[in-house]
Amino acid sequence: MKEKIQQIRQQIEEGLASVSLRKSLFELKMKFLGKTGEITALLKGMRDLPPEERPEMGKVINSAREWAEEAFAAREEELKKAELEDKYASEKIDVTMPAAFSAYGTEHPISMVRRELVDIFAGMGFEIFEGPEIEKDYYNFQALNIPADHPARDMQDTFFITEEFLLRSQTSSGQIRVMEKKAPPIKVLSPGRVYRSDSDATHSPMFHQMEGLVVDKNITLCDLKGLLDEFARKMFSSETKTRLRPSYFPFTEPSVEVDVSCCDCHGKGCRLCKGTGWIEILGAGIVNRRVLENCGVDPDVYSGLAFGMGIERIAMIKYGINDIRLLFENDVRFLKQFKD
């Protein structure tokens, strides 16, 4: 029995010398002092000894157990101290070294253009209204003089959730909500995301739109032209000119397409403007009488002007971007070009 205890002591000493992790130390301790450990087995085996030998052997085994417990405790303290020193060493900071480089992002071009547009029109007295992106068919189409059987719906084929609700295809729905709740005069700008089932180099199924509405007495196309002239000069350059071309929209009458003189060639003709000297940027017109009537506004007393533009299109023209998909690919090589 004494020889067995001596062997156990030697094994413990060798194990303590080689162990370097507290987890391994715990496993070694359980091997000798656990419920099924070797020293514990010796204590259980005393019942097989003659009664006269049990007191002496009990002292020897208990002494070995106490020694082992102290040895394991001492080694655990040593490992704790070593781990703490390693942790301090790894977290040590040399305050004399230069700080680690931290890359800074930049504002997205769509956000930059949206902010600039809001600043321009807010400076002309427009209030900002952002309507819901999940909209009722009534506000998105019917109140804008586009009934269920109107062919203009084909141009704005969109994403219906139910027969009544859809992802809005235009922010004009926000203008209807404003006219229902507020009496003229009205001067409101409605920016936000819109959705249409288009996807190519110049169209995206989700894009950003900004529409403006002015309702007051004696509003004419002259007011619209002057408003857009001021917008174009502030957005592109002081030399930018605008022109209006007849067009058709169900919610305006008369309706126009608005072009600006090419910001690259200044009207001489280039690749950007396809040799015409002009670039189409938005649609506009005088608010249709039926739209005013739908919102409870007397068209014999008040008239209005409305315009709408795609923020991505303005960004593409302003920064010379030839593919709308670049704006949504999150490629840092593209985005870092817009850093101030």
Binding residues: 253
Pairing type for strands 242-249 and 252-261 reads antiparallel
Q: 254 preceded by cis ω (within 30°)?
A: yes
Binding residues for Mg(2+), as ranges, are 253
